[in-house]
């Protein structure tokens, strides 16, 4: 079959030549060709539902760059992950040579959005795009192409409604833009296309052949009916992995828990090293291993990992710090590391293909639901990682069966199964409340009718058949009324007849990106007392469902109960049972389990803010360096958000206390280090502590110091020492030393020691 050639595309010559020359693409893949035929370059809305590596991204690039070059409009590319945003932007930068200006903006990086005006293609996350729409940035009018990547995320409970909200806002603005949606294969592609008013491209075509099968008892049963016996080494994963790497390939193993990831990787490493498998390169690997040791924040985790990396094996999960993760990913791409055992971290974002993908568990624990089978969609995401285009002759995805009858079951329910439909989660109370408030506060709706119209442009509305059924529409209207009432009672909204408007508080929530239910909890908590202790504040912050909660072990129950009793008056959110009931033991464990979870999480965060080492936090709470980064990010956002709420409500004491806690909780430092960490780039908790202990306690101390003295301190080299001193001198000269508002922590309020766990710094409380 003759494929459509790039040179025949209806796009400018420069772009055609560029694609052929720089991208090395001569001909289009069938799905790409179909996209062109369906009007990609005619400004038609389009949705592509195809598997990974079928060139959806190239089509998006072409559509965007073409629009920029020919029509002089801007383009937006919205993706689900920050890392993905940076990656796509990096790839897009090659078009800078055609004069196309590329920018990335995400919440973590950017403050002001005005500078984006000067760029042609803006790569961003869903949430940041929603935020841009909330602020009604004026350059939005000049956007001609909107690409939504991985749009099957509309199924996600939390993130999906944001996508729908984006679409509803774009519609409400009446912006004239081409919508291009990219999706993994989903069950209801037609429905999505209809919702988006888009042409549909569906295809199961793949650039590398994929063989799918199930392993059981020494045999791989392929879905096409063929089977292959491999050497059974007792352990299914081990057998499959050895079979792969002895054949010169690489394997990616997916499993359902972090501990499994470590355990499996260790077993594999032990086997490979003990039996002296020759395919690995020990010299190079020990370099990698050294790099990991060096960059790991937690020595424990680093050593655990470094040890097995020497054997060409690694584990990978979100508890690892970013740099360790990228070392692993890079070494896998370089083929030094032959096997990575990962949780789903790797299935979603990072592009890390391998000859063989092994799916160790097809079930996963869902809190509140027990063990649940993986959706077919996730299986497809994982199996889609199999086979590197142009490098491997084919890719393989192998599921592991625990019993003989499971073989057919897995073939039927995964390999040959239809992918699930994508279902909107927009019409739940929480999502409705957030997005209705957002629509009103940002001026997309000023009456109940507007709200209804706004909602009618969501997928949830279409899927609920509300457009077709008057009775259902009545129900929905009543539900919206309830939510409007809730927002009014909470003081976020005002209403006169049919007209609605956000209050100052409501506007604040909208810009803080805080959901109304959480904000309500925060405000009620703040009203309980004028001031409270650190535990009280940390515990209040943790009430947000955004904060991952630690589980309380049985043997910790009593310690935390005691802590609750001792701090009863200071806790701004009380459990559902009374103090007397706790003291008399008149309750079931389940009644307070969730509450204690929040307490434990707060305690961990305070340990962090009291400079507990990362190793101790890992030991005591099973919280890895990667998790700490997430917690730190969250604290930076949530604590300052609560401080802003307190400010809006004129609660000065709260505000003051929260403003120091914010820094302590985000950076994991005691108050005395705040000045150093806040003012000096390259100085975090560890270096700040080292500086402080060496007598450099303030920016002035450092400005007056000899860089040579500082370079001798642990964690400093010559360069960093000089940079820090330079920075300090500069800000002192300019009189710009930021003095964080500090108040005396009232330590005497709650002296309390928890448990006998080693390293806990809770005695401070």
Of 253, 382, 641, 705, the one binding DNA (CB under 7 A) is 641
Please give the distance of CA 715 from its chain centroid, rounded to a whole number.
29
Q: Which is nearer to DNA, 364 or 453 (CB)?
A: 364
Contact between 256 and DNA (CB under 7 A)?
Answer: yes
Contact between 654 and DNA (CB under 7 A)?
Answer: no
Instruction: Say how far apart CA 468 and CA 539 lie, in whole Å.
Output: 46
Instruction: DSSP letter for 21, please.
Output: I
User: How big is the chain by its Cα radius of gyration, in Å?
Assistant: 28
Asked if residue 267 belongs to a known ligand binding site, the reply is: no
Binding mask 536-575 for DNA (x = CB under 7 A): ----------x-x--x-xxx--------------------
Of 12, 107, 187, 389, the one binding DNA (CB under 7 A) is 107
Contact between 737 and DNA (CB under 7 A)?
Answer: no
Nearest to 42, CA basis, from 178, 183, 148, 142: 178
Nearest to 195, CA basis, from 419, 45, 63: 45
**Interface positions, 25-54, toward DNA (CB under 7 A):** none
For DNA, which stretch binds (CB under 7 A), given 26-34, 75-83, 197-205, 645-653?
75-83
For DNA, which stretch binds (CB under 7 A), given 7-15, 429-437, 453-461, 506-514?
506-514
Nearest to 697, CA basis, from 668, 665, 672: 672
Cβ atoms of 531 and 750 within 8 Å: the answer is: no
In terms of DSSP bridges, do strands 74-79 and 209-216 run parallel, antiparallel, or are they unpaired?
unpaired
Which tokens belong to 577? 């049972």
**Interface positions, 407-446, toward DNA (CB under 7 A):** none
Contact between 258 and DNA (CB under 7 A)?
Answer: yes
For DNA, which stretch binds (CB under 7 A), given 275-283, 360-368, 389-397, 526-534?
360-368
CA distance from start to end of the chain: 74
Instruction: DSSP letter for 248, please.
Output: T
Contact between 345 and DNA (CB under 7 A)?
Answer: yes
Contact between 365 and DNA (CB under 7 A)?
Answer: yes
Cβ neighbors of 49 (< 8 A, separation 6 or more) are 183, 184, 185, 186, 189, 192, 200, 201, 202, 203
CA distances from 570 to 6, 17, 545, 600, 746 (A): 68, 68, 21, 15, 12
Instruction: Say how far apart CA 73 and CA 100 lie, in whole Å.
Output: 11
Contact between 576 and DNA (CB under 7 A)?
Answer: no
Contact between 511 and DNA (CB under 7 A)?
Answer: yes
Instruction: Say how far apart CA 353 and CA 18 lie, in whole Å.
Output: 27
Contact between 640 and DNA (CB under 7 A)?
Answer: yes
Of 591, 622, 656, 701, the one binding DNA (CB under 7 A) is 622
Of 219, 630, 700, 742, the one binding DNA (CB under 7 A) is 630
Q: Which is nearer to DNA, 37 or 363 (CB)?
A: 363
Q: Is 137 helix (H, G, I), strand (E, B) or coil?
A: coil
Which tokens belong to 682? 């390259």
Q: For residue 250, with 0-12 CB atoms within 10 Å meaning exposed, 13-18 middle and 19 or more buried, which class applies?
A: buried
Instruction: Say how far apart CA 113 and CA 22 lie, in whole Å.
Output: 31
Nearest to 83, CA basis, from 123, 111, 115, 118: 123
Cα-based angle 225, 227, 229 (whole degrees, multiple of 5): 170
Q: Which is nearer to DNA, 572 or 635 (CB)?
A: 635
- Partners of residue 252 on adjacent β-strands: 340, 357
Please give the distance of CA 541 from its chain centroid, rounded to a whole number.
20
Of 131, 383, 438, 750, the one binding DNA (CB under 7 A) is 131
| Residue 584 neighbours by CB distance under 10 Å | 9
Of 2, 13, 24, 112, the one binding DNA (CB under 7 A) is 112
CA distances from 197 to 45, 171, 613, 708 (A): 7, 12, 54, 65
Of 2, 13, 21, 111, the one binding DNA (CB under 7 A) is 111
Tell me how far, at minimum, the Cβ of 37 lies from DNA, in Å.
34
Instruction: Say how far apart CA 216 and CA 223 lie, in whole Å.
Output: 13
Tell me how far, at minimum, the Cβ of 139 lies from DNA, in Å.
14
For DNA, which stretch binds (CB under 7 A), given 155-163, 384-392, 407-415, 647-655?
155-163
Q: Which is nearer to DNA, 112 or 580 (CB)?
A: 112
Tell me how far, at minimum, the Cβ of 201 lies from DNA, in Å.
27
Q: Which is nearer to DNA, 494 or 546 (CB)?
A: 546
For DNA, which stretch binds (CB under 7 A), given 30-38, 298-306, 366-374, 457-465?
366-374
Which tokens belong to 569? 């008056």
Contact between 83 and DNA (CB under 7 A)?
Answer: yes
For DNA, which stretch binds (CB under 7 A), given 74-82, 417-425, 649-657, 749-757?
74-82
- CA torsion through residues 343, 347, 352, 353, sign: positive
Contact between 159 and DNA (CB under 7 A)?
Answer: yes
Q: For residue 335, with 0-12 CB atoms within 10 Å meaning exposed, 13-18 middle and 19 or more buried, which class applies?
A: middle
Tell me how far, at minimum, the Cβ of 532 lies from DNA, in Å.
21
Of 1, 24, 229, 369, the one binding DNA (CB under 7 A) is 369
Contact between 318 and DNA (CB under 7 A)?
Answer: yes
For DNA, which stretch binds (CB under 7 A), given 101-109, 207-215, 483-491, 741-749?
101-109
Tell me how far, at minimum, the Cβ of 21 lies from DNA, in Å.
24
- Total interface residues for DNA by CB under 7 A: 67
Of 97, 227, 231, 402, the one binding DNA (CB under 7 A) is 402
Which residues are part of a known binding site?
32
Which residues are part of a known binding site for ATP?
32
Judged by the rule CB under 7 A, the positions of this chain that interact with DNA are: 80-83, 103-104, 106-112, 115, 125-128, 131, 135, 156, 158-159, 256-259, 263, 317-319, 343-345, 348-349, 363-366, 368-371, 402, 511-513, 546, 548, 551, 553-555, 590, 622, 626-627, 630, 633-634, 636-637, 640-641, 644, 736
């Amino acid at each position: 079959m003759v494929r459509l050639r790039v040179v025949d595309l209806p796009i400018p010559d420069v772009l055609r030549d560029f694609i052929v020359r720089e991208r090395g693409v001569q001909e289009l893949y069938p799905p790409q060709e179909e996209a062109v035929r369906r009007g990609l370059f005619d400004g038609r809305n389009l949705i592509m539902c195809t598997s990974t590596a079928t060139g959806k991204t190239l089509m998006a690039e072409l559509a965007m760059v073409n629009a920029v070059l020919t029509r002089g409009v801007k383009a937006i590319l919205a993706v689900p992950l920050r890392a993905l945003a940076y990656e796509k932007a990096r790839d897009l930068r090659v078009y800078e040579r055609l004069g196309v200006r590329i920018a990335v903006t995400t919440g973590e990086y950017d403050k002001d959005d005005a500078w984006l005006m000067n760029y042609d293609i803006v790569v961003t996350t869903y949430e940041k795009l929603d935020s841009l729409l909330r602020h009604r940035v004026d350059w939005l009018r000049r956007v001609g192409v909107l690409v939504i990547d991985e749009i099957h995320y509309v199924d996600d409970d939390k993130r999906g409604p944001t996508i729908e909200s984006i679409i509803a806002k774009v519609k409400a603005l009446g912006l004239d833009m081409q919508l291009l949606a990219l999706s993994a294969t989903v069950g209801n592609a037609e429905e999505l296309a209809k919702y988006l008013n888009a042409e549909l491209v569906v295809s199961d075509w793949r650039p590398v052949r994929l063989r799918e099968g199930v392993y059981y008892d020494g045999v791989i049963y392929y879905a096409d009916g063929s089977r292959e016996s491999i050497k059974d080494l007792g352990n299914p994963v081990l057998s499959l992995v050895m079979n792969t790497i002895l054949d010169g390939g690489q394997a990616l193993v997916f499993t359902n828990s972090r501990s499994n990831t470590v355990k499996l990787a260790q077993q594999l490493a032990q086997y490979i090293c003990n039996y002296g498998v020759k395919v690995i390169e020990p010299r190079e690997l020990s370099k990698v291993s050294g790099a990991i040791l060096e960059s790991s924040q937690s020595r424990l985790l680093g050593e655990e990992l470094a040890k097995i990396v020497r054997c060409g094996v690694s584990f990978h999960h979100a508890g690892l710090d970013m740099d360790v993760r990228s070392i692993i990913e890079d070494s896998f791409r370089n083929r030094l590391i032959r096997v990575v055992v990962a949780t789903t971290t790797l299935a979603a974002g990072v592009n890390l293909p391998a000859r063989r993908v092994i799916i160790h568990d097809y079930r996963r624990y869902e809190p509140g639901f027990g063990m649940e089978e993986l959706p077919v969609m996730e299986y497809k995401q994982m199996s889609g990682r199999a086979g590197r285009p142009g490098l491997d002759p084919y890719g393989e995805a192998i599921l592991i069966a625990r019993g003989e009858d499971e073989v057919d079951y897995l073939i039927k329910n995964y390999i040959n199964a239809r992918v699930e439909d994508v279902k909107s989660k927009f019409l739940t109370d929480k999502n409705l409340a957030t997005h209705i408030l957002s629509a009103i506060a940002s001026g997309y709706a000023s009456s109940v009718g507007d709200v209804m119209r706004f909602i009618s442009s969501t997928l949830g509305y279409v899927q609920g058949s509300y457009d077709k059924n008057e009775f259902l529409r009545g129900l929905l209207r009543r539900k919206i009324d309830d939510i409007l009432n809730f927002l009014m009672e909470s003081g976020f909204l005002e209403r006169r007849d049919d007209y609605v408007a956000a209050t100052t508080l409501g506007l604040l929530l909208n810009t803080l990106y805080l959901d109304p239910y959480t904000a309500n909890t925060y405000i009620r908590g703040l009203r309980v007392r004028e001031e409270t202790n650190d535990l009280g504040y940390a515990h209040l912050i943790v009430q947000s469902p955004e904060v991952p909660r630690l589980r309380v072990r049985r043997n910790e129950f009593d310690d935390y109960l005691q802590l609750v009793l001792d701090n009863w008056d200071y806790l701004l959110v009380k459990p559902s049972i009374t103090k007397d009931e706790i003291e008399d033991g008149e309750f079931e464990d389940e009644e307070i389990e969730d509450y204690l979870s929040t307490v434990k999480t707060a305690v961990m965060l305070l340990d962090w803010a009291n400079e507990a080492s990362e190793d101790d936090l890992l030991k005591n709470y099973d919280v890895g360096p990667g998790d700490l980064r997430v917690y730190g990010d969250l604290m930076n956002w949530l604590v300052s958000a609560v401080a802003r709420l307190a400010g809006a409500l004129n609660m000065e004491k709260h505000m003051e206390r929260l403003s120091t806690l914010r820094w302590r909780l985000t950076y994991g430092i005691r108050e005395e280090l705040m000045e150093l960490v806040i003012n000096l780039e390259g100085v975090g908790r560890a270096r700040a502590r080292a500086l402080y202990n060496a007598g450099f306690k303030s920016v002035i101390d450092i400005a007056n110091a000899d860089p040579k003295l500082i370079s001798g301190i642990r964690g400093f080299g010559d360069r960093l020492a000089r940079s820090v001193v330079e920075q300090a001198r500069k800000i002192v000269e300019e009189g710009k030393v930021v003095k964080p508002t500090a108040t005396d922590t009232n330590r005497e309020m709650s002296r309390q020691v928890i448990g006998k766990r080693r390293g806990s710094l809770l005695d401070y409380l």
